[in-house]
């Protein structure tokens, strides 16, 4: 089964203003890199992202948050928080970013695709149940995880693997008391947004279903890979997911302007392979990777291309 690429041109219309790191160019360089690979691109399944429904979004977000995003977008270019800017097409883009993740669930569950990559924007993992923050309006992966559990009886347990340089505070918060979703984040610490300490492991019935691996700035890439592999082994010993999401932030790449970690393309390939092998052993290889950060326009396209090649690689 092919790897699906699920996207929509409206991602390029989410205008964050001149000089903003989360720019339309991110989507454009990624799509250009994928389409330029004349061997890989014909083997991929290109699908158009639908809009997520209000009900699917509100399974993870308060209704007031949805209404606030609607209102601010309707009023024109404005700030949802200090660095989260919206404009005319931002709500359309955000709904199709979450919708791409839900469409990926359908594609993987129906056998239309073996796995999927979503070059979406805006990203999602900082969006909490109540507010937008950190460039994120709605939490794409969280919405799709709930969508999978709601629409597919065979999906009871979901794992979210977040390797963005920034902690996925929004995803963690949404599932912090939920034993059906295991959230794992490996990130630079201390760094934005200030959460993600090792002691944050869940509450109530969700205790033990959150794992944070904070990393110091400029930790050697080999050590980061070793820590990642060890963490996946540890999760596997206690949690067998029916579906795996990757919050695929590429801002842990060496030279990214918003991070201080040292990963290179081969390191992302290695981590992708680890997640694929884990998913292959526990959930028939069902992996959905959704783009989060990654702001170096000189490297982002090649890094994503390497990631997608590994997703698409047979065996």
Residues involved in catalysis: 126
Are residues 5 and 46 in contact, defined by beta-carbon separation less than 8 angstroms?
A: yes
Tell me the C-alpha distance between 2 and 22, whole Å. Answer: 29
Q: What is the DSSP string of 226-272?
A: HHHHHHHHHHHTT---SEEEEEE--TTBTT-TT----B-HHHHHHHH
Q: Strand 84-86 to strand 78-81: parallel, antiparallel, or no bridges (unpaired)?
A: antiparallel
Structure tokens given for 261: 């970690």
User: In terms of DSSP H, where are the helices of the chain?
Assistant: 24-36, 54-58, 63-75, 90-110, 140-151, 169-174, 221-236, 265-282, 300-312
Structure tokens given for 37: 């690979």
Q: CB-hemisphere CA count at 13 Å for 192?
A: 15
Q: Strand 115-118 to strand 287-291: parallel, antiparallel, or no bridges (unpaired)?
A: parallel
Tell me the C-alpha distance between 26 and 23, whole Å. Answer: 6
Tell me the C-alpha distance between 214 and 197, whole Å. Answer: 6
Rounded to 5 degrees, what are φ and ψ at 275? -65, -40
The residue written with tokens 């709601």 in the block is 150
Rounded to 5 degrees, what are φ and ψ at 72? -65, -40
In terms of residues, how long is the chain?
A: 315
């Amino acid at each position: 089964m092919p790897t699906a690429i699920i996207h929509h041109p409206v991602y390029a219309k989410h205008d964050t203003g001149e000089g903003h790191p989360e720019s339309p160019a991110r989507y454009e360089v990624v799509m250009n890199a994928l389409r330029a690979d004349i061997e890989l691109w014909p083997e991929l399944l290109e699908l158009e992202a639908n809009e997520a429904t209000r009900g699917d979004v509100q399974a993870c977000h308060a209704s007031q948050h949805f209404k606030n995003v609607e209102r601010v977008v309707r009023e024109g270019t404005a700030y949802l928080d200090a660095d989260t800017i919206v404009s005319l097409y931002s709500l359309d883009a955000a709904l199709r970013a979450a919708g791409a993740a839900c469409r990926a669930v359908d594609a993987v569950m129906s056998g239309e695709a073996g796995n999927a990559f979503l070059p979406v924007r805006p990203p999602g993992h900082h969006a909490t149940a109540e507010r937008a923050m950190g460039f994120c309006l709605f939490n794409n992966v969280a919405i799709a995880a709930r969508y999978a559990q709601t629409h597919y009886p065979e999906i009871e347990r979901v794992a979210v693997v977040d390797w963005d340089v920034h902690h996925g505070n929004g995803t963690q918060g949404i599932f912090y008391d939920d034993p059906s979703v295991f959230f794992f984040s490996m990130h630079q610490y201390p760094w934005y947004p200030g959460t993600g300490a090792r002691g944050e492991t869940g509450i109530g019935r969700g205790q033990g279903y959150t794992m944070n691996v904070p990393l110091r700035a400029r930790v050697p890439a080999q050590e980061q890979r070793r820590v990642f592999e060890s963490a996946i082994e540890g999760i596997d010993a206690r949690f067998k997911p029916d579906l795996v999401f990757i919050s695929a932030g590429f801002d842990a790449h060496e030279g990214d302007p918003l991070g201080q970690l040292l990963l290179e393309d081969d390191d992302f390939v290695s981590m992708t392979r680890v997640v694929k092998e884990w998913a292959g052993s526990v959930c028939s290889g069902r992996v959905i990777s959704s783009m989060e950060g990654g702001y170096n326009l000189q490297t982002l396209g090649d890094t994503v291309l390497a990631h997608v090649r590994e997703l698409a690689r047979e065996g």
